[in-house]
Amino acid sequence: MSGHPGLGRVGGARKDVSVPAGVPAAPGLFGSVCGQPPAGPCVVAHRGASQEAPEHTLAAYRRAILAGADALECDVRLTADGHLVCVHDRRVDRTSDGRGVVSALELAELAQLDFGTVVPSGPEDVDRDARTILTLERLLQTVADAPRRVALAVETKHPTRYAGLVERRLVACLDRFGWAHPRLGTTTPVRVMSFSTLSLRRIRELAPRLPTVALLDRVPLRMRDGSLPRGVQSAGPSIDVLRAHPEYVAAAHAHGHPVHVWTVDDAGDVDLCVELEVDAIITNRPRMVLTRLGRSVG
């Protein structure tokens, strides 16, 4: 996630929320985006605890779970041989000791690279989990095996040469865990996020009960009243948007849309999110955010 603010004034104080006709109720505003009510907003570990361990590595996600994060966040890209892997950038150059485009490399080639070369501040991991490419399949298994309920936000990255194949493979992968088409009366721990409206539309067509989040580094004119594209449950504005236009949260809530804010790594921004009653805080620093919220940290 990256971007800059851009929003017209939408104004208005937060008011009691009623869902407009035709808008499906979404977890978060009417319950918790994480499946159980935390004290305040849900805390989502962006690429894992990515200021403690290399981003998108199993070590980073395990640290986030141990810290007490309510949810994890990952980006997914499709390899040349059809595997979904957790990598943010189009290329592997920044996060590994290799070079090349993810979509042009096979999983076996990615497995030979060291993804622990960019070590954040904090204690270094020496185990393989901090250095190996992470597949979405393995991350899903980690979520399934967690000692408590942990949610997962999956961001699809576009544009890509594989277009709609990304969403088809994603839904197929979630299906293997029973999370793409939850039975009546049950919920999935997964939600899909994207800056691409087309990607979210594909998800709605493939898995209508899978919650979706529209990521926004600016808010288009047609959505300045807090509305979102048809079938999308939640808004995902950047913290830059909220700093410049805090009234957007109330506007989105007035349309029945939970608000998931990225990427919140400053204590003052956490306080702003609490004041505005956002539903989820996406952060590289889950321990700091949990502490700021007065919640226990593992």
Say whether pLDDT at 235 is over 60: yes
User: With pLDDT > 90 as the criterion, what percentage of the chain qualifies?
Assistant: 79
Catalytic residue among 46, 83, 245, 260: 46
Stretch 14-38: mean pLDDT: 45
Q: How confident is the model at residue 296 (pLDDT cuts 50, 70, 90)?
A: confident
Tell me the CA distances in angstroms from 236 to 83, 97, 253, one per residue in order: 26, 32, 12
Say whether pLDDT at 239 is over 60: yes
Say whether pLDDT at 118 is over 90: no
Tell the burial category of 216 from Cβ atoms under 10 Å away from its Cβ (0-12, 13-18, 19+).
buried
Say whether pLDDT at 297 is over 90: no
* Predicted model pTM: 0.89
- If you average pLDDT over every residue of the chain, what do you get? 88
Identify the CA nearest to 283 among candidates 59, 121, 64. 64
Model confidence over 122-168: pLDDT tens digits? 555 457 789 999 999 999 999 999 999 999 999 999 999 899 999 99
Instruction: Report the C-alpha gap between 6 and 9 in whole angstroms.
Output: 10
46 flagged as catalytic: yes
Structure tokens belonging to residue 239:
């913290």
Considering the domain 42-292 in this protein, what is its CATH number? 3.20.20.190
Omega cis (within 30) before 159: yes
pLDDT at 8: 38
Name the residue ranges covered by the structural domains of the chain: 42-292
Catalytic residue among 56, 83, 88, 253: 88
The answer to whether the CB of 245 falls within 8 A of the CB of 7 is: yes
Q: How confident is the model at residue 298 (pLDDT cuts 50, 70, 90)?
A: confident
253 flagged as catalytic: no
Model confidence over 272-282: pLDDT tens digits? 999 999 999 99
Location of structure tokens 């009417």: 30
Location of structure tokens 């961001």: 155
Stretch 60-77: mean pLDDT: 98
pLDDT at 4: 37
